[in-house]
């Protein structure tokens, strides 16, 4: 699943959990029993005719007034940058004019530097006069505490904590706990699969850490969780990849494992860098060793640039 499409799917599927986790007071006034997707295509640059569309635009009803429909607009960004406030104002203006609905604007930042859960503002002035001030909310996942959110009673909380700040020495226990929380969550298989993908993609472990985690999950307390995870074949052994292969065949399992790790690595690269050179993508496709893919995934987590990965574009 592509990086951007994955997050759009997550936010549509878990809109109520997202709002209750980060904006509980607002969520308490909204009815999530029926959510409608809005036609998001609109012109944001009318003279040039450039077509742009917001990432998420969903209609929900107000619990305070059942006749009132509120539009929740969410943009998904890797990093904060100076252009985002103006873009959020443009989207708000066009959505408000087009739908005639009140709009709740939110930016979800996946990496550090956005300041956690906080408001941002776009303002304009002329000749010393403040003529416009527009505020919207932000969620900066990379600035939040993984340990704090891991234990919250919300189905999305433990999986999304994989993107938050945490003690690297405690990654194994964080991942074990995230699995435990998801195992006990009252969700159907499809939703659990999405959240398992999030945990595995954003909280990768080394080969040694994987062994430690497996040992912890096989003890008496974690045995049921271990069996449940095995049934999902979470280490990249997807059912769809077994088409044409005999079930349980070792070469099919190994092929699925390698492909799953490649997808995880690509998701991490797209998360950490604005763009990934096609040469690097081709190089990754040639890797056939699971340990090599794991090592590269861990490097990505700490890399400041592509050169830190040993890639100079040549």
Q: Kindly report the CA angle at 211 between 142 and 194, in degrees rounded to 5?
A: 45
d(CA 181, CA 167): 19
- At residue 154 the predicted structure's pLDDT band, cuts being 50, 70 and 90, is very high
pLDDT digits (tens, 9 = 90+) for 65-124: 988 999 999 999 988 889 999 999 999 999 999 999 999 999 999 988 899 999 999 999
pLDDT digits (tens, 9 = 90+) for 236-281: 434 444 443 444 455 655 676 677 778 778 877 877 777 788 888 8
d(CA 285, CA 300): 16
- Could you say which DSSP state residue 165 is in? B
Handedness of CA 79, 140, 85, 94 (dihedral sign): positive
- Which of 73, 84, 79, 88 is closest to 114 using CA atoms? 79
Handedness of CA 1, 269, 52, 26 (dihedral sign): positive
């Amino acid at each position: 699943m592509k990086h951007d499409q994955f997050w759009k799917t997550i936010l549509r599927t878990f809109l109520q959990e997202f709002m209750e986790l980060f904006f509980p007071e607002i969520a308490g006034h909204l009815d999530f029993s029926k959510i409608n997707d809005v036609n998001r295509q609109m012109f944001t640059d009318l003279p040039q005719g450039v077509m742009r569309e917001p990432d998420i635009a969903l209609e929900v009803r107000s619990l305070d007034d059942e006749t009132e429909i509120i539009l929740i607009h969410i943009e998904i960004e890797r990093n904060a940058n100076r252009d985002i406030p103006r873009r959020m104002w443009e989207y708000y203006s066009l959505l408000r004019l087009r739908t005639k609905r009140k709009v709740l604007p939110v930016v979800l930042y996946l990496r550090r530097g956005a300041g956690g859960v906080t408001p941002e503002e776009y303002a304009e002035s002329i000749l010393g006069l403040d003529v416009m001030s527009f505020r919207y909310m932000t969620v900066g996942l990379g600035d939040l505490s993984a340990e704090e959110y891991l234990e919250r009673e919300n189905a999305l909380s433990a999986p999304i904590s994989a993107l938050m700040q945490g003690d690297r020495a405690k990654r194994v226990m964080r991942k074990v706990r995230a699995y435990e929380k998801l195992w006990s969550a009252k969700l159907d298989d499809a939703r659990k699969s999405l959240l398992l993908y999030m945990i595995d993609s954003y909280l990768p472990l080394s080969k040694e850490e994987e062994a430690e985690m497996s040992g912890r999950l096989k003890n008496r307390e974690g045995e049921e969780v271990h069996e449940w995870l095995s049934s999902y074949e979470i280490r990249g052994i997807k059912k769809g990849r077994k088409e044409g292969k005999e079930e349980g065949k070792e070469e099919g399992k190994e092929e699925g494992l390698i492909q799953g790790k490649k997808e995880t690595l690509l998701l991490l690269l797209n998360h950490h860098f604005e763009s990934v050179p096609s040469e690097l993508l081709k190089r990754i496709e040639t890797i056939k060793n699971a340990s090599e893919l794991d090592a590269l995934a861990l490097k990505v987590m700490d890399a400041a640039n592509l050169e830190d990965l040993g890639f100079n574009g040549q």
